[in-house]
Amino acid sequence: MLLYVDTQFASPYAMSAFVALHEKSLAFEMRTLDLAAGENRGGDYARRSLSQRVPTLVDGDFSLSESSAITEYLDEAYPGAALYPTAPRQRARARQVQAWLRSDLMAIRQERSTEVMFYRPTPAPLSAAATAAAEKLFAAAEVLLAHGGENLFDAWSIADVDLALMLNRLVLNGDAVPAALARYAAHQWTRPSVQRWLALSRPPLEQT
Amino acid sequence: MLLYVDTQFASPYAMSAFVALHEKSLAFEMRTLDLAAGENRGGDYARRSLSQRVPTLVDGDFSLSESSAITEYLDEAYPGAALYPTAPRQRARARQVQAWLRSDLMAIRQERSTEVMFYRPTPAPLSAAATAAAEKLFAAAEVLLAHGGENLFDAWSIADVDLALMLNRLVLNGDAVPAALARYAAHQWTRPSVQRWLALSRPPLEQT
Ligand SMILES: [Ca+2]
Ligand SMILES: [Ca+2]
Ligand SMILES: [Ca+2]
Ligand SMILES: [Ca+2]
């Protein structure tokens, strides 16, 4: 299999697919696209991905983009460790968490880009909009983790990576995060599949 | 079951969940929340939905938000018409389409809000960003529908509703859309479950 990711290994969605492939112990090759140079907008990749975004998984003659669709596909099509809970309501909740984190909290995603985690923090304070988004994130995460466990559900799931990443945009930048949530995010970050992503050799950021 | 939707019946995600419930022939009650008045930000709904957004499905003691998580849950938990393809790669593609339409094409979603479909068109021309998003949408839809069928896959799926809705933001506003895509969107709009959503009695838009 082949996974297209961004040159900086900064896409949180590429990371989610990468972690899923490692969790399933699937052999794969990575190809990088320089998004700033528009490599993703070229003809072949544009057609394969449909969205011109990363990641895209290529499995034989099948190309699939959107990280949550990729992780669902890997879980259905391949044996090995489960990426999603099997209990229907936990499974539904995992999908809710993934869909929510990909379509909301925009102010956090903009003001605490993944570069603050994978390159260097920013001293810029959070805007009022980002502070409100952070409060919403904390309230939701506290409900989801009210059971006090290490993972969202009975066992680890790919939704833990996505939730920990959103929290770590703040934690790793030094922004205030409730202690229990910061501990959850730090623990998720120690997972070997996540550590492999963090250990990738990144090119310098382009000067802007 | 209970489905929370917006007072204007303008949320495309509420529509997708509504259509899914009708396609499964499930009995449900609707409750409306006035988003402009902040009814979604109140304590009980905020806690139930986690995201403070609509829709939220309540099934017994289980509350679930995010429309794609809701439609997956309904398809797994209840018998009746299938909302997703059963073939793994078609199923994956349906999830890709849903995830993509919920996280990209922002300029179309902003400049052609669903009010242009459910209330009245706007004379404002598309910006350069929205025009580029429309071109990306058309290119992707043409690949997905290159087989010339009425639906994305062998049979109708919930992803058809979501794709037709995105196209109809433009078609029903009078913006230029390739003829084959406009025909696809018009055909999808005739589906009885969709017509039920369109036929809901809407309050006047608040003056702004
Ligand atoms: Ca490259
Ligand atoms: Ca780049
Ligand atoms: Ca109401
Ligand atoms: Ca309203």
Whether residue B177 lies within 8 A of chain A, CB to CB, comes out as no
Same domain, B72 and B102: no
**Contact residues on chain B for A68, CB-CB shorter than 8 A:** 95, 99
Find out whether A105 and A166 touch, Cβ atoms under 8 Å. yes
CB atoms within 10 A of CB B29: 8
Residue with tokens 């004379």: B123
Burial B44-73 (b: 16+ CB within 10 A, else e): ebbebbbbbbbbbbbbeeebbbbbbbbbbb
Confidence of residue A208 (pLDDT cuts 50, 70, 90): low
Among residues A187, A104, A24, A78, which one has the least CA distance to residue B40?
Answer: A104
The alpha carbon of residue B100 is apart from the nearest alpha carbon of chain A, in Å, by 7
Whether residue A92 lies within 8 A of chain B, CB to CB, comes out as yes
Same domain, B56 and B123: no
Is B99 in contact with A68 (Cβ distance < 8 A)? yes
User: From B100, which residue of chain A is nearest by alpha-carbon distance?
Assistant: A66
Per-residue pLDDT for B208 more than 60?
Answer: no
Residue B176 lies in a domain: yes
Q: What's the pLDDT score for residue A42?
A: 82
Tell me the per-residue pLDDT of B119-141, one tens digit each, with 9 for 90 and over.
Answer: 999 999 999 999 999 999 999 99
Query: What is the C-alpha separation between A67 and A15, in angstroms, rounded?
Result: 9
Q: Which of B46, B50, B100 sits opposite A51 (nearest CB)?
A: B100
Q: What is the CATH number of the domain that holds B180?
A: 1.20.1050.10
Residue B36 lies in a domain: yes
β-pairing, B62-65 with B56-59? Answer: antiparallel
Query: What is the C-alpha separation between A54 and A40, in angstroms, rounded?
Result: 8
Residue B147 lies in a domain: yes
What's the mean pLDDT in A4-15?
97
What's the mean pLDDT in B90-97?
98
Whether residue A96 lies within 8 A of chain B, CB to CB, comes out as yes
- Which of the listed residues A45, A65, A81 is the one where a domain comes to its end? A81
- Which of the listed residues B52, B81, B110 is the one where a domain comes to its end? B81
Give the best residue of A16, A35, A50, A100 to mutate against chain B (max B CB count within 10 A). A50
Question: What pTM was computed for the model?
Answer: 0.97
Same domain, B54 and B114: no
Tell me the per-residue pLDDT of A132-143, one tens digit each, with 9 for 90 and over.
Answer: 999 999 999 999
Q: How many domains does chain A have?
A: 2
Same domain, A27 and A62: yes
Tell me the per-residue pLDDT of B2-54, one tens digit each, with 9 for 90 and over.
Answer: 999 999 999 999 999 999 999 999 999 999 999 999 999 987 999 999 999 99
Surrounding ion ligand 2 within 5 Å at CB are: A 35-36
Per-residue pLDDT for B109 more than 90?
Answer: yes
Q: What is the CATH number of the domain that holds A14?
A: 3.40.30.10
Same domain, A61 and A139: no
Same domain, B95 and B11: no
Query: Mean pLDDT over all residues of chain A?
Result: 96
Same domain, B167 and B130: yes
Per-residue pLDDT for A206 more than 80?
Answer: no
Query: What is the C-alpha separation between A64 and A87, in angstroms, rounded?
Result: 26
So what's the ipTM on this one? 0.96
Residue A71 lies in a domain: yes
Helix or strand holding residue A64 (H, E): strand A62-65
Burial A137-175 (b: 16+ CB within 10 A, else e): bbebbeebbeeeeebbbeebbbbbbbbbbbbbbbbbbeb
Same domain, A64 and A92: no
User: Directed axis angle between helix A88-103 and helix A128-144, to 10°?
Assistant: 170
Tell me the per-residue pLDDT of A159-196, one tens digit each, with 9 for 90 and over.
Answer: 999 999 999 999 999 999 999 999 999 999 999 999 99
Residue B202 lies in a domain: no
Residue A45 lies in a domain: yes
Residue A43 lies in a domain: yes
Quote the ligand 4 centre to B37 CA distance (angstroms).
7
Return the amino acid letter for A188.
Q
- Can you give the residue range of the structural domain that contains B34? 2-81
